[in-house]
Amino acid sequence: MDEALIGALIASTLRVATPLILCALAGLLAERSGVVDIGLEGKMLFAAFAAAASGAVVDSTLLALGLAMAVAVLLSWLHGFACVSQRGDQVVSGMAIDIIAAGLTVVLGIAWFHQGGQTPPVADTVRLHALWPGAQATLERVPVLGGWLGPAIGEGLLGHNALVYAALALVGAVWWLVYRTRFGLRLRAVGENPQMVDAAGVSVLKLRHAALTLNGMLCGLAGGYLVLAQNASFAPNMTAGRGFMALAALIFGNWRPLPALLACLLFGFLDAAAIRLQGVSLPGIGEVPVQAIQALPYLLTVILLAGFIGRSTAPKALGIPYVKER
Amino acid sequence: MSAPLPRWADVVVLPLVNLAIALLVAALVVALIGQSPGQVMTMLVQGAFGTERGLSYTLYYTTTFIFTGLAVALASHGGLFNIGAEGQATLGGLGTGLVALWCSQTLPAPLLLPLMFIGGALFGMIWAAVPGYLQAYRGSHVVITTIMFNFLASSLLVYLLVNRLKAPGNMSVESVSFGPAAHLPGMHEALAWVGVTWPSSPLNLSLFLALFAAVGVYAFLWHSRAGYRLRAVGSSEGAAAYAGIRPRRQIIVAMGLSGALAGMVGMNEIAGVNGKLLLDFVGGAGFTGIAVAVMGRNHPLGVVLASLLFGALFQGGAEVSFEVPGFSRDMVVTLQGFIVLFSGAMAYVIAPALAALVQRAKSARGAAAAVQPSQAPHG
């Protein structure tokens, strides 16, 4: 195998997986609290637009990220108002957010920037850059790390921007939050048996709103990443189903942080491999069509949900609005 | 708990109030981007209904929305949220197109067109029945599975078009054109047979197919045993099971029929308009179907009216975007999102408020009626 290939594969796997990880964690917090969130896609899209619009006007990375998070949190609150406070249908509400985001970002983009829905590219100073740009060159000079190991570590693991590492760290943080804190215990309980939580004197609605707020912040980071690290400008529908893929990863990871991370990495790897396998003939299989590899995450999720490989169990109260007993 | 809405308010007033709120918010957005909502609205109505051509386009969009709207509505009577009409319509178009590609040189139109119709409905049906089966017998939720099936459908279509069906030597990703036998006559052609001149447009005979499907769905749901079973499972699975209805089978039936309706989109888009298989001919109509069903309260007549509304919005929106610089058709998509939000997700916010209003009006009138007789002797 090509020596540089492994490094490049690891690098692009992590790059593709980062927004998936952030979104999957967002979905995890909402769904463990019992709120279905198919609005991940829309929130990420609107956040990306906010980051791009801010980055095109003001020269500040923090402001771009902050605005992205603020917009996504607002959409989360809308979701929370419609289906936590008012007990509306969670799937319909999520769908509404997706449709509104797909339309409104383009409407505002055209009105503000006159480029057919695109935003002008974000300045290089606003964009996120690799934390250690010289890592690969330095490592290649170390004799022990010759061959494939140098690029694998240098380019694959150390060549990323802060948000990639933040996403990985957030997996640990969310795990700790959900499994090792009082808030997390209540969060999990409210997704399984809200009556019990209510009986214990803890507000079901407050917990769900809190989960949705955190969910919005994470979606905002994911959207910000798309603009500040990947594309440099906003393009209509630039999320292209990533929110739904993150949802698939969350389900594939059985609503748990570490397995969800692995699912995101698997899906990221499939995406990275699909581009490189274009037109390559594999031994024994022949040429694999790119579309087949790209469709694999969705297919795997369907098969897993159907219980053919392992079992995926959703939180028990998922999707059921909580009605306080009188 | 407030009193439930009277039937007339529930059926007529509530959808109109929801629509008015969505339109108001959309008007705010239009004003926010510096355009006059009044002017846009006038132009939109003019573009959608003002000319014969505009009206034809409106009805052409309406046709597709009726199919997808009926699909979503029928599934929800079975207690299922079919978010996969997009994928089922894609597969329907594929079924219609494959029949046309295979047989358009050999079969005559009267034989071929029904076959294409069946092909589309069958493909859509299978694509929806699989998630239905998985929900009924394997416990995977139909919402998630149909989302995944949307992506699988689009991957499948891309794969088939790029690797198998693409016309050799053609740059664009589309199949060869079908033979003339596979062409579903346009409305202008049909009207020319009876001596009426009508401008050429994508509107074709599948409009009648859509209206027929709406009547069929009505007859099925409220005037057939199978429809009764389906609605019984949708309202109360346990009670239906106790009455000897098998809920699992009904889930598959509901999804299958829903998918078949979505698959009929192929007759409008592939057989009626494009005359070849191409990418993205559904173009989000499956999701518009959700808005249509929500707006039309899942009733076939409501679906037809809501489809007309959305058809007019899409056609009128396209006209406005030609005329007004900076106005994009995506404003209509945004409005569609607002409608799903206000009449779907927030139905519980507006309905009780409206019910309270109706109640107050009623008690005020009741009080007035109670006061009058006692006053009469004095007067």
Q: What is the ipTM of this complex?
A: 0.91
| pLDDT computed for residue B377 by the predictor | 46
- A11-49 pLDDT tens trace: 999 999 999 999 999 999 999 999 999 999 999 999 999
CB A131 within 8 A of CB A160: yes
Asked, for residue A317, whether it belongs to a domain, the answer is no
Residue B223 tokens read as: 């005037």
Report the alpha-carbon distance of residue A233 to residue A56 in Å, rounded: 8
Please name every residue paired with B143 in a beta bridge, in sequence order, or none if there are none: none
Report the alpha-carbon distance of residue A110 to residue A119 in Å, rounded: 8
At A314 the three-state DSSP class reads coil
Burial B230-246 (b: 16+ CB within 10 A, else e): bbbbbeebeebeeeebe
- Closest to B123 measured CA to CA, from B103, B101, B145, B153: B153
| pLDDT computed for residue A139 by the predictor | 72
Asked, for residue A318, whether it belongs to a domain, the answer is no
Q: Which structural domain range is residue A115 located in? A: 3-305
Report the alpha-carbon distance of residue A214 to residue A68 in Å, rounded: 13
Cβ neighbours of residue B45 under 8 Å, at least 6 residues apart?
Answer: B312, B316
CB A103 within 8 A of CB B331: yes
User: What's the gap in Å between the CA of A238 and the closest CA on chain B?
Assistant: 15
Asked, for residue A248, whether it belongs to a domain, the answer is yes
Report the alpha-carbon distance of residue A163 to residue A43 in Å, rounded: 18
Residues of B within 8 A of A314 (CB-CB) are: 141
User: What's the gap in Å between the CA of B134 and the closest CA on chain A?
Assistant: 6
Residues of B within 8 A of A278 (CB-CB) are: none
| pLDDT computed for residue B371 by the predictor | 60
Yes or no, beta carbons of A117 and B328 under 8 Å apart: yes
User: Is residue A315 pLDDT above 60, yes or no?
Assistant: yes
Yes or no, beta carbons of B148 and A95 under 8 Å apart: no
**Chain A CA closest to residue B80:** A91
Cβ neighbours of residue B241 under 8 Å, at least 6 residues apart?
Answer: B247
Task: Return the H-helix or E-strand segment holding A282.
Answer: strand A281-282
| pLDDT computed for residue A326 by the predictor | 63
Q: Estimate the share of chain A in helix, then strand, then coil, as percent rounded to the nearest 5.
A: 70, 0, 30
| pLDDT computed for residue A286 by the predictor | 72
B61-307 in CATH: which number? Answer: 1.10.3470
Asked, for residue A316, whether it belongs to a domain, the answer is no
Yes or no, beta carbons of A99 and B141 under 8 Å apart: no
Domain CATH number, residue A164: 1.10.3470
Report the alpha-carbon distance of residue A75 to residue A93 in Å, rounded: 10
Nearest to A305 among B34, B145, B156 (CB): B145
Confidence band of A146 (pLDDT split at 50, 70, 90): low
Residues of B within 8 A of A106 (CB-CB) are: 328, 330, 333
Asked, for residue A172, whether it belongs to a domain, the answer is yes
Cα torsion angle, A260, A266, A269, A271, sign:
negative
> DSSP class of residue B10?
I
Backbone angles phi, psi at A181, to 5 degrees: -125, 165
pTM greater than 0.80 (yes/no): yes
Backbone angles phi, psi at B378, to 5 degrees: -65, -35
Looking at A135-161, list the stretches that DSSP marks H as alpha helix, in order from N- to C-terminal side. Answer: 135-140, 149-151
Residues of B within 8 A of A239 (CB-CB) are: none
C-alpha neighbours within 13 Å on the C-beta side of residue B79: 20
- Closest to A34 measured CA to CA, from A323, A326, A325: A323
User: What's the gap in Å between the CA of B344 and the closest CA on chain A?
Assistant: 6
Q: How many CB pairs under 8 A join A and B?
A: 153
Residue A96 tokens read as: 């509404």
Please name every residue paired with A287 in a beta bridge, in sequence order, or none if there are none: A281
User: Is residue A82 pLDDT above 70, yes or no?
Assistant: yes
The type of residue at A90 is Q
Yes or no, beta carbons of A97 and B291 under 8 Å apart: no
Residues of B within 8 A of A306 (CB-CB) are: 134, 138, 140
Count: domains in chain A: 1
Report the alpha-carbon distance of residue B311 to residue B60 in Å, rounded: 7
Which of A37, A49, A99, A320 is most worth mutating to test chain B (most B CB atoms within 10 A of its CB)?
A99
Domain boundaries, chain B: 61-307
Which of A91, A271, A311, A325 is most worth mutating to test chain B (most B CB atoms within 10 A of its CB)?
A91
Cβ neighbours of residue B348 under 8 Å, at least 6 residues apart?
Answer: A86, A87, A88
Please name every residue paired with B174 in a beta bridge, in sequence order, or none if there are none: B278
Report the alpha-carbon distance of residue A212 to residue A205 in Å, rounded: 10
| Other CB atoms within 10 A of residue B306 CB | 29
The type of residue at B5 is L
Report the alpha-carbon distance of residue B88 to residue B172 in Å, rounded: 24
Which residue positions in chain B have pLDDT lower than 50? 1-2, 374, 376-377, 379
Yes or no, beta carbons of B345 and A292 under 8 Å apart: no
Burial B87-103 (b: 16+ CB within 10 A, else e): bbbbbbbbbbbbbbbeb
| Other CB atoms within 10 A of residue B14 CB | 19
Nearest to B159 among A92, A291, A301 (CB): A291
- A155-168 pLDDT tens trace: 778 878 899 999 99
| Three-class SS of B161-193 | HHHHHCCCCCCCCECCCCCHHHCCCEHHHHHHH
| pLDDT computed for residue A116 by the predictor | 82
Yes or no, beta carbons of A99 and B149 under 8 Å apart: no
Residue A119 tokens read as: 């935003």
| pLDDT computed for residue B273 by the predictor | 92
Residues of B within 8 A of A80 (CB-CB) are: none
**Maximum CA extent, chain A:** 73
| pLDDT computed for residue B167 by the predictor | 79
User: What's the gap in Å between the CA of A74 and the closest CA on chain B?
Assistant: 15
User: What's the gap in Å between the CA of B346 and the closest CA on chain A?
Assistant: 5
Distance of CA B260 to the CA centre of its chain: 13
Confidence band of A78 (pLDDT split at 50, 70, 90): very high
